[in-house]
């Protein structure tokens, strides 16, 4: 929702309150307040034990199905 010109604190709250293991968080490069929000988001997620990996490490390849929530599941 950063593209809707949410404030940096609102972006931070939205991301940090909804993230869970395996989450993919999308930020838009033209969003007005994202650069201001990112340092706090990164610090909080690291403090909560999260790590950052390339998306290629999250997406399954080979045989998989997609469940009703949109998650990939190995078959």
Residue 1 pLDDT > 80: no
Which residues have C-beta within 8 Å of that of residue 4, sequence separation ≥ 6? none
pTM score, whole prediction: 0.74
Q: For residue 45, what pLDDT is reported?
A: 97
> 66 forms bridges with which residues in the sheet?
72
pLDDT digits (tens, 9 = 90+) for 24-50: 888 888 888 899 999 999 999 999 999
| Whether the predicted pLDDT of 15 surpasses 90 | yes
* Average pLDDT over the chain, rounded to an integer: 89
Cβ-count burial 1-17 (b if 16+ within 10 Å, e if not): ebeeebebeebbebbbe
């Amino acid at each position: 929702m950063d593209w809707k010109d949410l404030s940096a604190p609102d972006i931070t709250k939205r991301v940090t309150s909804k993230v869970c293991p395996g989450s993919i968080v999308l930020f838009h490069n033209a969003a007005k307040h994202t650069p201001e929000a990112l340092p706090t988001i990164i610090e909080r997620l690291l403090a909560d034990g999260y790590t950052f990996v390339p998306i290629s490490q999250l997406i399954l390849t080979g045989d998989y199905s997609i469940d009703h929530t949109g998650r990939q599941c190995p078959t």
